[in-house]
Homo-oligomer: A and B are copies of this chain.
Amino acid sequence: MVSTLLSSKNFTNVQDVKDINGLVQLALQMKAKKKKSKIGADKRIGLIFLNPSMRTRISSQIAAKNLGLDIIVLNLEKDSWLLEFNETAIMNGSTVEHIKDAAPILGEYFDLLGIRTFPTLKNKDEDYKELVLQQLIKYSKLPIISLESATLHPLQSLADIITIQEHFSLKRKPKVVLTWAPHIKPLPQCVANSFAQWMNRWNGADFVITHPKGYELSEVYTQNAQIVYDQKTALDNADFIYVKNWSSYNNYGQMPPVEADWMLQLNKLPNNPKVKIMHCLPVRRNIELSSEVLDSNHCITTEQAKNRVWAAQSVMHEILKQIQK
Protein backbone atom coordinates (compact mmCIF):
# COMPACT_ATOMS: atom_id res chain seq x y z
CA MET A 1 0.00 0.00 0.00
CA VAL A 2 1.38 3.37 -1.05
CA SER A 3 1.67 6.02 1.63
CA THR A 4 -0.98 8.62 0.97
CA LEU A 5 -2.85 11.41 2.73
CA LEU A 6 -6.15 9.77 1.84
CA SER A 7 -7.75 6.72 3.39
CA SER A 8 -9.60 5.79 0.21
CA LYS A 9 -9.11 5.74 -3.52
CA ASN A 10 -12.20 7.97 -3.73
CA PHE A 11 -12.69 11.53 -2.56
CA THR A 12 -16.36 12.05 -1.79
CA ASN A 13 -16.34 13.28 1.80
CA VAL A 14 -14.00 13.99 4.69
CA GLN A 15 -14.00 10.33 5.72
CA ASP A 16 -11.84 9.69 2.67
CA VAL A 17 -9.06 11.86 4.14
CA LYS A 18 -6.45 10.47 6.51
CA ASP A 19 -4.58 13.71 7.17
CA ILE A 20 -6.33 17.02 6.52
CA ASN A 21 -3.37 19.15 7.56
CA GLY A 22 -1.07 17.09 5.36
CA LEU A 23 -3.40 17.66 2.41
CA VAL A 24 -3.50 21.40 3.14
CA GLN A 25 0.30 21.51 3.27
CA LEU A 26 0.61 19.61 0.00
CA ALA A 27 -1.82 22.05 -1.64
CA LEU A 28 0.14 25.04 -0.34
CA GLN A 29 3.42 23.58 -1.60
CA MET A 30 1.88 23.07 -5.01
CA LYS A 31 0.55 26.63 -4.96
CA ALA A 32 4.03 27.93 -4.08
CA LYS A 33 5.44 25.84 -6.96
CA LYS A 34 7.65 24.05 -4.44
CA LYS A 35 6.05 20.78 -5.38
CA LYS A 36 5.65 19.92 -9.06
CA SER A 37 4.51 16.56 -10.34
CA LYS A 38 3.48 15.04 -13.63
CA ILE A 39 2.19 11.92 -11.91
CA GLY A 40 -0.84 11.95 -14.23
CA ALA A 41 1.13 11.58 -17.46
CA ASP A 42 -0.24 8.65 -19.50
CA LYS A 43 -3.45 8.69 -17.48
CA ARG A 44 -6.84 10.09 -18.41
CA ILE A 45 -9.50 11.77 -16.28
CA GLY A 46 -13.14 12.15 -17.27
CA LEU A 47 -14.88 15.19 -15.84
CA ILE A 48 -18.64 14.64 -15.91
CA PHE A 49 -20.98 17.54 -15.33
CA LEU A 50 -24.63 16.73 -14.72
CA ASN A 51 -25.30 20.40 -14.02
CA PRO A 52 -23.59 23.70 -14.90
CA SER A 53 -20.44 24.84 -13.16
CA MET A 54 -17.86 27.58 -13.62
CA ARG A 55 -15.27 27.48 -10.82
CA THR A 56 -15.36 23.70 -10.43
CA ARG A 57 -15.15 23.16 -14.17
CA ILE A 58 -12.13 25.41 -14.65
CA SER A 59 -10.24 24.59 -11.46
CA SER A 60 -10.47 20.84 -11.96
CA GLN A 61 -9.25 21.15 -15.54
CA ILE A 62 -6.30 23.27 -14.45
CA ALA A 63 -5.43 20.85 -11.64
CA ALA A 64 -5.59 17.85 -13.96
CA LYS A 65 -3.51 19.60 -16.60
CA ASN A 66 -0.89 20.60 -14.03
CA LEU A 67 -0.48 16.93 -13.13
CA GLY A 68 -0.09 15.91 -16.78
CA LEU A 69 -3.45 14.16 -17.07
CA ASP A 70 -5.27 13.87 -20.35
CA ILE A 71 -8.73 15.39 -19.85
CA ILE A 72 -12.10 14.71 -21.46
CA VAL A 73 -14.99 16.84 -20.27
CA LEU A 74 -18.49 15.37 -20.59
CA ASN A 75 -21.39 17.77 -20.33
CA LEU A 76 -24.43 15.69 -19.59
CA GLU A 77 -26.59 18.61 -18.61
CA LYS A 78 -29.94 19.37 -20.08
CA ASP A 79 -31.37 15.91 -20.39
CA SER A 80 -28.96 14.76 -23.07
CA TRP A 81 -28.26 11.47 -21.33
CA LEU A 82 -30.78 10.51 -18.68
CA LEU A 83 -29.44 7.66 -16.57
CA GLU A 84 -31.49 4.99 -14.83
CA PHE A 85 -30.48 3.99 -11.29
CA ASN A 86 -33.29 1.66 -10.29
CA GLU A 87 -31.92 -1.91 -10.18
CA THR A 88 -35.12 -3.50 -11.47
CA ALA A 89 -36.35 -0.82 -13.84
CA ILE A 90 -38.32 -1.67 -16.93
CA MET A 91 -36.89 1.14 -19.01
CA ASN A 92 -39.93 2.25 -20.95
CA GLY A 93 -39.75 5.89 -19.87
CA SER A 94 -37.42 8.85 -20.20
CA THR A 95 -34.18 7.27 -19.00
CA VAL A 96 -32.09 5.99 -21.88
CA GLU A 97 -29.28 4.10 -20.21
CA HIS A 98 -28.74 2.26 -16.94
CA ILE A 99 -25.77 3.19 -14.78
CA LYS A 100 -24.92 -0.53 -14.74
CA ASP A 101 -24.32 -0.42 -18.49
CA ALA A 102 -22.76 3.04 -18.76
CA ALA A 103 -20.37 3.02 -15.81
CA PRO A 104 -18.28 -0.04 -16.74
CA ILE A 105 -17.54 1.60 -20.07
CA LEU A 106 -16.34 4.78 -18.41
CA GLY A 107 -14.23 2.38 -16.37
CA GLU A 108 -12.59 1.17 -19.56
CA TYR A 109 -12.06 4.61 -21.07
CA PHE A 110 -10.67 6.47 -18.04
CA ASP A 111 -8.27 6.06 -15.14
CA LEU A 112 -10.23 8.26 -12.78
CA LEU A 113 -13.45 10.25 -12.87
CA GLY A 114 -14.70 13.49 -11.42
CA ILE A 115 -18.44 13.91 -11.31
CA ARG A 116 -20.75 16.79 -10.47
CA THR A 117 -24.26 15.85 -9.44
CA PHE A 118 -27.02 17.66 -7.61
CA PRO A 119 -29.93 16.90 -5.27
CA THR A 120 -33.58 16.64 -6.20
CA LEU A 121 -34.39 18.65 -3.03
CA LYS A 122 -37.63 16.66 -3.12
CA ASN A 123 -36.66 13.17 -2.02
CA LYS A 124 -34.42 13.43 1.04
CA ASP A 125 -33.67 9.74 1.32
CA GLU A 126 -32.65 9.46 -2.30
CA ASP A 127 -30.47 12.57 -2.15
CA TYR A 128 -28.71 11.56 1.07
CA LYS A 129 -28.03 8.07 -0.27
CA GLU A 130 -25.88 9.75 -2.96
CA LEU A 131 -27.14 7.23 -5.46
CA VAL A 132 -25.32 8.60 -8.51
CA LEU A 133 -21.99 8.80 -6.77
CA GLN A 134 -22.28 5.44 -5.06
CA GLN A 135 -23.41 3.59 -8.16
CA LEU A 136 -20.70 5.20 -10.25
CA ILE A 137 -18.13 4.00 -7.70
CA LYS A 138 -19.67 0.53 -7.66
CA TYR A 139 -20.03 -0.05 -11.38
CA SER A 140 -17.12 1.90 -12.91
CA LYS A 141 -14.60 0.46 -10.44
CA LEU A 142 -12.61 3.68 -10.91
CA PRO A 143 -11.46 6.20 -8.30
CA ILE A 144 -14.16 8.87 -8.13
CA ILE A 145 -13.69 12.51 -7.13
CA SER A 146 -16.81 14.41 -6.13
CA LEU A 147 -17.02 17.74 -7.90
CA GLU A 148 -20.02 18.45 -5.63
CA SER A 149 -22.65 15.85 -4.99
CA ALA A 150 -26.25 15.86 -3.82
CA THR A 151 -25.29 16.53 -0.20
CA LEU A 152 -21.59 17.42 0.03
CA HIS A 153 -18.90 19.52 -1.65
CA PRO A 154 -15.59 18.27 -0.27
CA LEU A 155 -13.24 20.06 -2.73
CA GLN A 156 -14.87 23.34 -1.70
CA SER A 157 -14.35 22.52 1.99
CA LEU A 158 -10.71 21.62 1.46
CA ALA A 159 -10.17 24.90 -0.42
CA ASP A 160 -11.92 26.71 2.44
CA ILE A 161 -9.58 25.25 5.05
CA ILE A 162 -6.56 26.05 2.88
CA THR A 163 -7.83 29.65 2.70
CA ILE A 164 -8.39 29.85 6.46
CA GLN A 165 -4.87 28.54 7.06
CA GLU A 166 -3.41 31.17 4.76
CA HIS A 167 -5.25 34.02 6.49
CA PHE A 168 -4.68 33.24 10.16
CA SER A 169 -1.30 33.18 11.87
CA LEU A 170 -2.08 33.66 15.57
CA LYS A 171 -1.24 30.86 17.97
CA ARG A 172 -4.80 30.40 19.21
CA LYS A 173 -7.48 28.69 17.16
CA PRO A 174 -9.54 31.02 14.97
CA LYS A 175 -13.26 31.38 15.62
CA VAL A 176 -15.08 30.34 12.45
CA VAL A 177 -18.81 31.03 12.09
CA LEU A 178 -21.00 29.48 9.41
CA THR A 179 -23.99 31.76 9.01
CA TRP A 180 -27.15 31.08 7.04
CA ALA A 181 -28.05 33.78 4.52
CA PRO A 182 -31.26 34.56 2.66
CA HIS A 183 -31.84 33.51 -0.93
CA ILE A 184 -34.66 33.70 -3.44
CA LYS A 185 -34.97 29.99 -4.04
CA PRO A 186 -34.20 26.74 -2.22
CA LEU A 187 -30.55 25.70 -2.47
CA PRO A 188 -28.87 22.40 -1.56
CA GLN A 189 -27.34 21.82 1.86
CA CYS A 190 -24.08 20.60 0.25
CA VAL A 191 -21.69 23.41 1.03
CA ALA A 192 -22.95 23.86 4.60
CA ASN A 193 -22.99 20.11 5.34
CA SER A 194 -19.54 19.71 3.95
CA PHE A 195 -18.01 22.72 5.66
CA ALA A 196 -19.44 21.56 9.00
CA GLN A 197 -18.16 18.04 8.42
CA TRP A 198 -14.65 19.23 7.59
CA MET A 199 -14.49 21.79 10.43
CA ASN A 200 -15.46 19.13 12.95
CA ARG A 201 -12.94 16.63 11.68
CA TRP A 202 -10.19 19.21 11.23
CA ASN A 203 -10.55 20.56 14.76
CA GLY A 204 -8.37 23.54 13.87
CA ALA A 205 -10.97 26.15 14.78
CA ASP A 206 -13.66 27.03 17.27
CA PHE A 207 -16.65 26.35 15.08
CA VAL A 208 -20.08 27.93 15.45
CA ILE A 209 -23.13 27.57 13.22
CA THR A 210 -25.90 30.13 13.18
CA HIS A 211 -29.21 29.95 11.33
CA PRO A 212 -32.90 30.66 11.83
CA LYS A 213 -35.14 28.07 13.47
CA GLY A 214 -36.21 25.55 10.88
CA TYR A 215 -32.89 25.52 9.05
CA GLU A 216 -31.14 22.92 11.24
CA LEU A 217 -28.65 20.81 9.28
CA SER A 218 -28.32 17.06 9.72
CA GLU A 219 -26.51 16.17 12.93
CA VAL A 220 -24.48 13.69 10.93
CA TYR A 221 -22.48 16.72 9.79
CA THR A 222 -22.89 19.27 12.57
CA GLN A 223 -22.06 16.79 15.35
CA ASN A 224 -20.97 18.72 18.43
CA ALA A 225 -20.66 22.09 16.72
CA GLN A 226 -22.10 24.95 18.74
CA ILE A 227 -25.41 26.06 17.24
CA VAL A 228 -26.56 29.58 18.03
CA TYR A 229 -29.87 30.89 16.76
CA ASP A 230 -29.03 34.55 17.31
CA GLN A 231 -26.77 35.74 14.50
CA LYS A 232 -25.39 38.73 16.42
CA THR A 233 -24.33 36.57 19.34
CA ALA A 234 -22.82 33.99 17.01
CA LEU A 235 -20.74 36.51 15.08
CA ASP A 236 -19.21 38.02 18.22
CA ASN A 237 -15.40 37.76 18.10
CA ALA A 238 -15.47 35.85 14.82
CA ASP A 239 -12.23 35.62 12.83
CA PHE A 240 -13.93 34.08 9.79
CA ILE A 241 -17.58 34.32 8.76
CA TYR A 242 -18.71 31.83 6.14
CA VAL A 243 -21.92 33.09 4.54
CA LYS A 244 -24.17 30.58 2.78
CA ASN A 245 -27.80 29.91 2.12
CA TRP A 246 -29.34 26.47 2.39
CA SER A 247 -32.87 25.14 2.33
CA SER A 248 -34.45 23.22 5.20
CA TYR A 249 -33.21 19.71 5.91
CA ASN A 250 -36.06 18.66 8.19
CA ASN A 251 -38.80 20.21 6.09
CA TYR A 252 -36.84 18.97 3.14
CA GLY A 253 -36.02 21.44 0.40
CA GLN A 254 -38.50 23.99 1.74
CA MET A 255 -37.90 27.61 2.76
CA PRO A 256 -39.61 28.14 6.13
CA PRO A 257 -40.39 31.85 6.68
CA VAL A 258 -37.70 33.91 8.43
CA GLU A 259 -38.63 37.12 10.19
CA ALA A 260 -35.29 38.56 11.24
CA ASP A 261 -32.91 40.20 8.79
CA TRP A 262 -30.15 37.67 8.12
CA MET A 263 -28.35 39.44 5.26
CA LEU A 264 -24.80 40.15 6.35
CA GLN A 265 -23.93 43.84 6.21
CA LEU A 266 -20.95 45.90 7.33
CA ASN A 267 -22.67 47.06 10.51
CA LYS A 268 -23.17 43.47 11.58
CA LEU A 269 -19.48 42.57 11.39
CA PRO A 270 -17.87 41.89 14.76
CA ASN A 271 -15.44 44.37 16.24
CA ASN A 272 -12.44 42.67 14.61
CA PRO A 273 -10.67 44.67 11.89
CA LYS A 274 -9.15 41.45 10.54
CA VAL A 275 -12.41 39.48 10.25
CA LYS A 276 -12.59 37.63 6.94
CA ILE A 277 -15.78 36.99 4.99
CA MET A 278 -16.07 33.77 2.99
CA HIS A 279 -18.57 32.51 0.42
CA CYS A 280 -18.23 29.70 -2.10
CA LEU A 281 -19.81 31.79 -4.91
CA PRO A 282 -21.84 32.44 -6.95
CA VAL A 283 -23.41 34.98 -4.58
CA ARG A 284 -26.50 37.11 -5.00
CA ARG A 285 -25.44 40.61 -3.99
CA ASN A 286 -27.67 42.50 -1.58
CA ILE A 287 -29.67 39.34 -0.95
CA GLU A 288 -27.16 36.99 0.70
CA LEU A 289 -24.77 39.72 1.74
CA SER A 290 -24.34 43.37 0.93
CA SER A 291 -22.20 44.74 -1.87
CA GLU A 292 -20.32 46.76 0.74
CA VAL A 293 -19.17 43.60 2.47
CA LEU A 294 -18.22 41.87 -0.80
CA ASP A 295 -16.31 44.94 -2.00
CA SER A 296 -14.51 45.42 1.33
CA ASN A 297 -11.07 44.06 2.13
CA HIS A 298 -12.69 41.66 4.59
CA CYS A 299 -13.84 39.58 1.63
CA ILE A 300 -11.65 36.62 0.61
CA THR A 301 -13.98 34.87 -1.84
CA THR A 302 -11.53 35.24 -4.74
CA GLU A 303 -8.81 33.57 -2.65
CA GLN A 304 -11.19 30.70 -1.87
CA ALA A 305 -11.95 30.20 -5.56
CA LYS A 306 -8.27 30.34 -6.47
CA ASN A 307 -7.52 27.65 -3.89
CA ARG A 308 -10.00 25.33 -5.60
CA VAL A 309 -7.18 24.57 -8.06
CA TRP A 310 -4.74 23.48 -5.36
CA ALA A 311 -7.36 21.55 -3.43
CA ALA A 312 -8.23 19.56 -6.57
CA GLN A 313 -4.59 19.13 -7.50
CA SER A 314 -3.55 17.77 -4.11
CA VAL A 315 -6.47 15.33 -4.07
CA MET A 316 -5.85 14.11 -7.62
CA HIS A 317 -2.18 13.69 -6.74
CA GLU A 318 -2.94 11.48 -3.75
CA ILE A 319 -5.35 9.36 -5.78
CA LEU A 320 -2.91 8.99 -8.68
CA LYS A 321 -0.25 7.78 -6.23
CA GLN A 322 -2.54 4.87 -5.43
CA ILE A 323 -3.08 3.80 -9.04
CA GLN A 324 0.50 4.02 -10.29
CA LYS A 325 1.70 0.75 -11.71
Contact = CB atoms under 8 A, between A and B. Distances in A.
Contacts of A184: 92
B81 A72 contact: no
- Main SS of chain A's interface residues? mixed
A178 interface: no
A105 B100 CA distance: 38
Given A91-B286, A306-B108, A65 B54 contact: no
A58 B84 contact: no
Which size bracket describes the interface of A in this complex? 35 or more
Given A52-B81, A65-B70, A109 B285 contact: no
Contacts of A258: none
Contact of A287 (B52, B80, B92, B291): B92
A62 B74 CA distance: 13
A62 B109 contact: yes
A294 interface: yes
A126 interface: no
A88 interface: yes
Given A54-B74, A100-B294, 14 more contacts: A44-B62, A52-B80, A54-B81, A62-B109, A89-B286, A90-B285, A91-B286, A91-B287, A92-B184, A92-B287, A97-B282, A98-B283, A100-B285, A100-B295
